[in-house]
Structure 1
């Protein structure tokens, strides 16, 4: 029987997941309706919609993986965990792509590469989303094939066979899944950091130009920079709050039966449950849709 602390954090995790799925589901529905009307979306909305979809399925697979491992089979839960890897990887890359898109669109560097990217990033977005998805699928298939090969041998009630299976699972996680996960998580995180640093540098350069020319401090371009940076710093906070617990649980895995496992799950997915609300309140299109739904529930 689970302890009261474990039950508490299980319930908390379920409520947190419900909030995340409602928020991301709202984003998907609003942008999906616009897409069905126009059969197209602006590049930024494409990324937001893709991010909402990946997070929605990430939360579902996290619930299935955690509770299946707890109540049924840890070894089969490993396979569910590899399916979870697909929305996990796409979430990281879509988040990074959104930061890169903002960085290219708003940066005011005079380098020819930035001019070239600024004019072409919008047409690149669908292809970047597609390649992010393809890369995520390839990584997931690779993990699944490798994991299935380890787990396919039948296990009877024999103690030695179960011990060997558990040892194989640990070896798979430490020598294959761990390095792969670290590569998957850290590469987009560093790209995300570089995008924020470039955007800060662009803002500082713009402020320097304003002081030199005695420009209006309420310059709209500067205001857009500041608003976007606030959004990206919030992204960074949530990115870090998701990344660090995930890396800790990969490096030092905790049993799914432990209360600490469920505490880490609550911490890890806290950002994903909060962030959709931030996006809805700070994106004019989503904010208008929410106000319309609240004032006229029949339109929802």
Structure 2
């Protein structure tokens, strides 16, 4: 049985995870109905729906993996960490493309390359999502191989051979798989950072044009810039809160039976659990459906 402190952290982790699952389920349901009705979604809604699906399964995979590992430490499953690796990587990529899409569509640069990208990024969205899934699968394959061999170790071979293979697998995990995973996440981080810098530069340029023409500061374009910039800054905080724990666990293994592990999990997934609410409130379509639901409950 877990101690009272660990049980307290488990409950907090479970509550925040369920909050994220409910919010992502709402996004999937609304956009899924839209797709069924119209047989298509806008590029932004396509990325948002993909992100909602990925996060929905990521949080279920995290819950199952953490609690299964804690309560059944001796019964190792091949699949507990594999699906988590896949959904975690796709979540990072889909979040990145959402940030890049907003940046490209809203920024007001006049460079030919940027102008070309602005008008064609909507066509690239399906390919970007497919490419993200393929990259995530490349992360998935070594994780599957590692888990499969660890699962087979007690069954075949003698003790010394098992120990040697086990140490080699863990060395592969520590020196190749985890650095590769962090490297890919850092690419996402850099793309979001570049998007933020570009949007700030575009906003400063727009403010300069407003001052030259004595335009009111309530200009809608400026408000869109500011709202999107806030969203991208949140993306950056989200990446930081997820990449740092991965680096910590890569350099210092934390036992699932320690309270420190659950604190790290709470901090890591707090952003993922809160962010869907931010996306819902900033989407006119999702916000409108949410208001109808709330008004319907009030009327009932």
Asked whether the two chains share a fold, i.e. TM above 0.5, the reply is yes
Deviation at 1:226, TM superposition (A): 0.8
Deviation at 1:268, TM superposition (A): 0.6
Residue by residue over 1:206-252, the C-alpha shift from the partner in whole angstroms, topping out at 9 and shown as x without a partner, is 11122223223222111111111112112222222222223212321
Pick closer, same or farther for the CA change 1:106–1:2 going to 2, 3 Å.
Answer: same
Deviation at 1:57, TM superposition (A): 0.5
Structure 1 alignment gaps of length 5 or more: none
SS state of the match for residue 114, structure 2?
helix
Tell me how large the CA RMSD over aligned residues is.
2.3
Pick closer, same or farther for the CA change 1:14–1:176 going to 2, 3 Å.
Answer: same
Residue by residue over 1:262-287, the C-alpha shift from the partner in whole angstroms, topping out at 9 and shown as x without a partner, is 11111110011111111112211111
Structure 1-normalised TM-score? 0.92
Say whether 1:260 aligns with 2:260: yes
| Mapped partners of 2:12, 2:255: distance in 1 | 18
Residue by residue over 1:5-51, the C-alpha shift from the partner in whole angstroms, topping out at 9 and shown as x without a partner, is 11111111111111010010001001111010001011111111111
Number of equivalent positions: 298
Residue by residue over 1:96-116, the C-alpha shift from the partner in whole angstroms, topping out at 9 and shown as x without a partner, is 101110111011111111110
Runs of 4+ off more than 3 Å: 158-170
Equivalences for 1:218-257 in 2 at 5 Å?
218-257=218-257
SS state of the match for residue 256, structure 2?
coil
Give the structure 2 partner of residue 66 of structure 1: 66
Structure 2-normalised TM-score? 0.92
SS state of the match for residue 81, structure 2?
helix
Give the structure 2 partner of residue 287 of structure 1: 287
Say whether 1:210 aligns with 2:210: yes
| Mapped partners of 1:65, 1:74: distance in 2 | 13
Mapped contact 1:151–1:165 kept (Cα < 8 A)? no
SS state of the match for residue 292, structure 2?
helix
Pick closer, same or farther for the CA change 1:254–1:159 going to 2, 3 Å.
Answer: farther
Deviation at 1:162, TM superposition (A): 7.7
| Mapped partners of 1:77, 1:150: distance in 2 | 10
Equivalences for 1:108-257 in 2 at 5 Å?
108-154=108-154, 167-168=167-168, 170-257=170-257
Say whether 1:24 aligns with 2:24: yes
Residue by residue over 1:154-179, the C-alpha shift from the partner in whole angstroms, topping out at 9 and shown as x without a partner, is 259x9878865764553233123221
| Mapped partners of 1:155, 1:255: distance in 2 | 25
